[in-house]
Chain A
Amino acid sequence: MENTYALKATGINKFFHQPTEFQVLKDISFEAKKGEFLSLVGKSGSGKSTLLYVLSTMDTDYEGTLSINDESLTGKGQNELAAFRNANIGFVFQFHYLLPEFTTLDNVMLPALKLGRKSKEEIRQSALDKLELLEIKDQAHKSANKLSGGQQQRVAIARALINDPAIIMGDEPTGNLDSKNTDIVFDIFRQLAKYRGQTIIAVTHDDDFAAKSDRVLELSDGYMVA
């Protein structure tokens, strides 16, 4: 294995055109190793979330190049990128965004059903395993809007894990959680990086959270300063 980078960004520049021309990201280059736990920090408006969405492939309006698992993603079409995200990237947001009418289990199964690489029964089993990992297997058949905030966020993480993605991206994944749940989520990320070799990139405002991660990337006024 000559290349151990999971993600490589080179010379990323991004502009906002509304309301006035404004450069959000200025020549950002960095690499993330396989199994590395990265925190993205910075003041609000520093561009850290913007960078995360560029890295996530959802935002394609940027200059520079981005490759994940040695696959160059710059310039690909929306549907192609959607399929790529489905297989290779898991998302955890500040808000859980579960489908409220679906059960916990159905929510977790959704990305795998879309990917369609396994049979429904295998997906079901794998979803139950992920829920067990996150210690909410007992809630599997409840509908998602009946769970507590901490439980919902864990379900969202289980959903992000279902396709065993190379990279898990979090946009303030613990932003809405109390300290107990924050610790639980952090420990889960820690384990995923350590034992499964999954790369974690999380935007956070929580200094403790950032301090405990493998590496902290700090953004200030669009520049990467650390």
Chain B
Amino acid sequence: MTRSTNTKVAFSHLTSRVKQSIVAVLSVTFGISMYIFMNGFMTGVNDIQADLAFSSLAHIRVYNDLPEDRSDLISDDQMPSQLVNLRHPKVIQYSEGINNVDREISILGQFDGITEITSQVNMNVFFRNGSTRVSGVLNGVNAAKEDRLFGMAASMKSGNWLDLDHRSDGIILGVGLAKRLSLGMDDNVFLKTGDGITRNFKIIGLLETSLNSIDNSKAYVRINSARQLVSENQSYATDIQINLTDFENAEAMAAQMRQYTDFKVESWNEANGQLEAGNELRNYLALAVSLTILLVAGFGIYNIMNMTVNEKIREIAILKAMGFEGWDIVEIFLTQSLIIGLMGGLIGILIGGGVSTIVNNVPFNIASLETLPMAFRKSDYLSAFVFGLLTTFIAGYLPARKASLIDPVEIIRG
């Protein structure tokens, strides 16, 4: 009974000062739509960064690292009474690459949350066309799996990426590399490995990823062709590349995998610390900016609710004289600010979504982008709404408390 009465008083306050109520709603609307826009934009930028980075970098990479440095094998306390002469200590790698890659893949492939796992045979080679000689990296890959990992097929400038699996003499070059070699489609390229083995390949495709490190130096062949070049058998690989459903899990997953394999397991964060730092910093920036905006909106509401309290102070006094308790008064003013918060929140979500959509269509032709990046995450919209309500709640509570503490005698006697 009291509740509906309080609500009715609250509504009468809102409707008797339509202009102020609209201004209050607009300040919440502005705060929430900016919050949504800022977070959507930052998340969009982060996603694009991740997409770009993960177009050449797998979430987890497994490879044969140098063995541990044991050059200080003999320490004083082990053999205190003996004199030892150690000459030319070296760290020697007894095995190169991963020799039984099928076994490793079957073990690591059992982990949950893996979207794709593939093996590669990578080496440094010289590419030759007549007298032009360029050094670069040759990747022996399984074309279908490589495409699922890095989306290679989408970056093809000419030719078809998946043809690689059917052509043992086919090679796909980065556009920059092809240009440096003055070669085009269907030309032959001459290749020489570090061990001096040479072979001719036919160019069946050109790759343009917009990442110079790939376009200017990388070439791709079928994995078995690469194995032949290094004289290794069918179960040899230099790298295992793994993608996960959620790249944020990479570090934890890598730690688990280390228990099941002797090879080096490296998550993307280890390999590329600056990428993670960038992501984190942008998230903080978005948070700081959007919270500041919400704070400003909060002050707007605080100001307007304070005005209402001052304007209605006689009404409050008479309500208290008639027996309304402090809490009733708080409820009356909190109801008002929550209605403002709800309306501002809903309109803010619509406007925030609208502005995001517009910005998402602004042309932006740098790197592989065509328009400004924007993410539309439900969680951003939800948290904007929750933060908005929280702000209005606090901004409304302070004047409400002040109203509940007024002394009716003082006001009525004047």
Name A's B-contacting residues (CB within 8 A): 49, 53, 56, 58-59, 78-79, 82-87, 91, 93, 97, 99-102, 106, 110-111, 113-116, 120, 159, 171
Return the contact of B327 from the options A58, A79, A93 (Cβ within 8 A).
A79
* Cross-chain contact A101 with B12 (CB below 8 angstroms): yes
Q: How far is the CB of B364 from chain A (nearest CB, A)?
A: 52
A100 touches B328 (CB 8 A): no
Most buried by B among A49, A53, A99, A159: A99
Chain A to chain B: the 7 pairs with minimum beta-carbon distance, closest first: A86-B323, A116-B1, A101-B12, A97-B318, A113-B5, A79-B325, A85-B323
User: In the complex where A49-B413, A58-B408, A116-B2 touch, is A111 in contact with B16 (Cβ < 8 A)?
Assistant: no
Instruction: Give, as a whole number of angstroms, the nearest-CB distance from A95 to chain B.
Output: 8
| Given A86-B322, A110-B322, A114-B324; A99-B315 close (CB under 8 Å) | yes
23 contacts between A and B (CB under 8 A): A58-B321, A58-B407, A58-B409, A79-B325, A82-B323, A82-B326, A83-B325, A84-B323, A86-B323, A87-B323, A91-B318, A91-B322, A97-B318, A99-B315, A101-B12, A102-B12, A110-B322, A113-B4, A114-B323, A116-B1, A116-B2, A159-B322, A171-B412
A69 → B minimal CB distance (Å): 15
Q: Enumerate B4-38 residues with CB–CB distance to A below 8 Å.
A: 4-5, 8-9, 12-13, 15-16
Quick one: closest B residue to A56, CB to CB?
Answer: B321
- For residue B320, CB closer than 8 A to chain A, the reply is yes
- A25 vs B315: C-alpha distance in the bound complex, in angstroms? 28
Residues of A within 8 A of B328 (CB): 114
Task: Tell me the interface secondary structure of chain B in the complex.
Answer: helix
With beta carbons under 8 angstroms apart, the residue of B9, B323, B325 that contacts A111 is B323
Total contacting residues, chain B, CB less than 8 A:
29
B326 to chain A, nearest CB (A): 6
Residues of A within 8 A of B323 (CB): 82-87, 111, 114-115
Give 19 new A-B contacts, CB below 8 A, not counting A82-B320, A83-B323, A99-B315: A56-B321, A58-B320, A58-B409, A79-B327, A82-B325, A82-B326, A85-B322, A85-B323, A86-B322, A87-B323, A93-B412, A97-B314, A100-B16, A101-B15, A113-B1, A113-B2, A113-B5, A114-B1, A115-B323
B2 touching A114 by the CB < 8 A rule? yes
**A78 to B324 Cα, complex, angstroms:** 10
Once bound together, how far apart are the Cα atoms of A52 and B412, in whole Å?
Answer: 12
Inside 8 A of B16's CB, which chain A residues have their CB?
A: 100-101
In the complex, the answer to whether A97 meets B1 with C-beta atoms within 8 Å is: no
Given contacts A59-B409, A101-B15, contact A111 B322 (CB under 8 A): yes
